[in-house]
Amino acid sequence: MRRLAHLLIAIAFLAGAALPARAADAAAEIRGALEQWTDDFNARRTDKVCGLFAPDLRADYRGQPERDYDGICDLLKRSLSDAAKSFSYALDIKEILVFGDVAVVRLVWTLTVKGKDGREVTSVEPGMDIFQKQADGTWRIARYMAYER
């Protein structure tokens, strides 16, 4: 939490340096990346679901251990390979704030899990993703925090 607070303070300090046109372009790229990830996840494209995350990812989900890139990718691939369940995410982006090569996205994911027995469970998961522009020019999630309502 302390690292996130320091990062958010640094982002706020740098806010004046963001050029509006570049920020709008970056926000559109990030929105597109999140929408594509949602499509890939919902289509069970296990070869694509890790592409949204930076190699140095740190992920915090309330009640779960902190995960890195490998931990998240393993969890996603294992879940999507489970033939006894189907998974579907819906995305609700609240805002995208861009500050140079860093962006903060406030969003809500809604996960629906259906079992072969017909049981359905829905989880509403507000969170915050911190994207960082990578050396190859893509925007990837470097940090995220989420929790279930």
What's the maximum distance between 2 C-alpha atoms anywhere in the chain?
Answer: 54
On whether the CB atoms of residues 85 and 72 are closer than 8 A, the answer is no
Q: Where are the domains of the chain?
A: 2-146
* 12 has a pLDDT exceeding 70: no
Top CATH class, 2-146: alpha beta
pTM of the model: 0.84
pLDDT in tens, 39-49: 999 999 999 99
- If phi > 0 it is left, if psi is from -120 to 50 it is alpha, else beta; for residue 56 that is alpha
